Amino acid sequence: MTSTDAYAALMSHFREIAALGQAAMVLGWDQETTMPERGVTQRAEQLGVLEGISHQKLTDPRIGDWLAVIDRAALDPVQAKNVTEAEHRHHRATRIPARLAEETARLSAHAQGIWADARARSDFAAYAPTLSQMVALKREAGQALRDADESAYDALIQDYEPGMSERELSRIFGDLRPALADLRARIADSPVKAPPLKGPFAKEAQIALSRELATAFGYDWSAGRLDFAVHPFSSGNNGDVRITTRVTEEEPFGCLYSTIHEVGHAVYSQNLDPALMFQPAGEDAGMGVHESQSRSFENQIGRSRAFAEYLFPKMRDAFGDFGAADPEALYLQLNAVETGFIRTEADEVHYNLHVMMRFDLERALISGDLDVADLEAAWNDRFTADFGVTPPDARRGVLQDVHWAHGLFGYFPTYSLGNIYAGELVATLRQDIPDLDSQVAGGNMSHFVGWMKEKIHHPSRRYMPRDLIERAVGHAPSSAPLVAYLERKFTDLYDL
């Protein structure tokens, strides 16, 4: 077999693995949106079987044979990335027993419904046994995947933010936390208050406006659709990228900004290089980069003063008098800083504090320093210490996020990494597009999205996450632009 033949065989093999993964994503989307309640047992089996087949393919010994034959010096950069990624995934998969991979997939499918039911009833005790099983499986996976100089949590992080470590995250968050706490304290002393909303806000009107905003931000409806989920998410890539949102008639921003957030994810996924579809190099760079898109769409642009000018007349048309007299009042409503219990509804000042709390709790779960039986109490104690209030029930506390039900340990830190990356990207973008605010105020988001497509979307997974951001902004990323952005924005808004 020649090097060319070996590379072709490797890519054909990983094309099948990618297709299986995409099929599993569609089944997962269906489970959270339209699947009948009694379908969960069948769905768990379906996903378990798919995961088992994928694991068999990833551990196929022929992968090692092909890698040994390939002449890496003769590869172009994309081919080299494909080979490096294939080797990395094969190496990780061979460390995970097939039984563990299938068990985790099946439990995740079951856990989704158990979590949703427990959340609806605010009953952590009903969910705790399932979560205990998932934590045990992820501890086992972390131990199997870790290198000698890594923690189990380090190993799990690699699925979401390649190249990141628990130690580095602790340093980044340790630098960011004091600045956020100080800004939060100063805002709390400000007499400035956002005007109250006047509802109700009809579901149909919210959805219609959400669809209009998604279109404005470049979402391709021929490659996607909008549905409802308990916990909004985006799923898919390239020509099939689906988004979800949720609606409450008392408050419209949850629906509108969940949609914009998921559109940020979706537009990234739709704009991945189509020439690399089904190849390892054609996937996204990592969840921190993914979150940088959703957070820049939702916050840096979507909660800007310029966007409030664009949104105000649309809010008036959709809802009549909704409580804001002018765009400036809407701008304050969109950026009201209030201590709340729900991460997905948190303002920009509080949001990263929510994430840092989850980071500390989940790594304690994986290390064994915290048992699931003690998680609810630990959550409430930490929340009280960080936010000054105690969650009134589990639904607004430890049960609010679905991530741990799905075994996504190591995912939460990428939300704050996304904010940090977004701070870097939008600061550079504003230098490159000096009239960005006037464009946004006029409803033209095309140059903003086009810049992101060129710098972030189209490169796909050609580069490691931090390398991709560094190429886009010209220097190693730090939290400084995010802190400067928050200071500037909220000092102005709250007359600090």
231 is in an annotated binding site: no
The Cα 84–Cα 81 span in angstroms is 5
- Based on the residue annotation, tell me whether 470 is a catalytic residue of this protein: no
The Cα 461–Cα 229 span in angstroms is 28
The Cα 475–Cα 483 span in angstroms is 17
Pairing of strands 240-245, 234-237: antiparallel
Please tell me which residue in 102, 161, 262, 283 is annotated as part of the active site.
262
For residue 213, which of 134, 137, 267, 250 has the smallest C-alpha distance?
A: 267
Measuring CA to CA, how many Å separate 460 from each of 82, 264, 456? 12, 15, 7
Q: What is the DSSP letter of 476?
A: -
Measuring CA to CA, how many Å separate 154 from each of 87, 123, 133, 217? 19, 31, 20, 35
Q: Tell me the two tokens of residue 432.
A: 């490159």
For residue 20, which of 406, 278, 405 has the smallest C-alpha distance?
A: 278
Report helix, strand or coil for 336.
coil
The Cα 390–Cα 379 span in angstroms is 9
The Cα 319–Cα 204 span in angstroms is 11
Q: Tell me the two tokens of residue 357.
A: 């709390």
424 is in an annotated binding site: no
454 is in an annotated binding site: no
Q: Facing residues of 226 across strands?
A: 243
Residues marked as catalytic: 262
Binding residues for Zn(2+): 261, 265, 291
Binding residues: 261, 265, 291
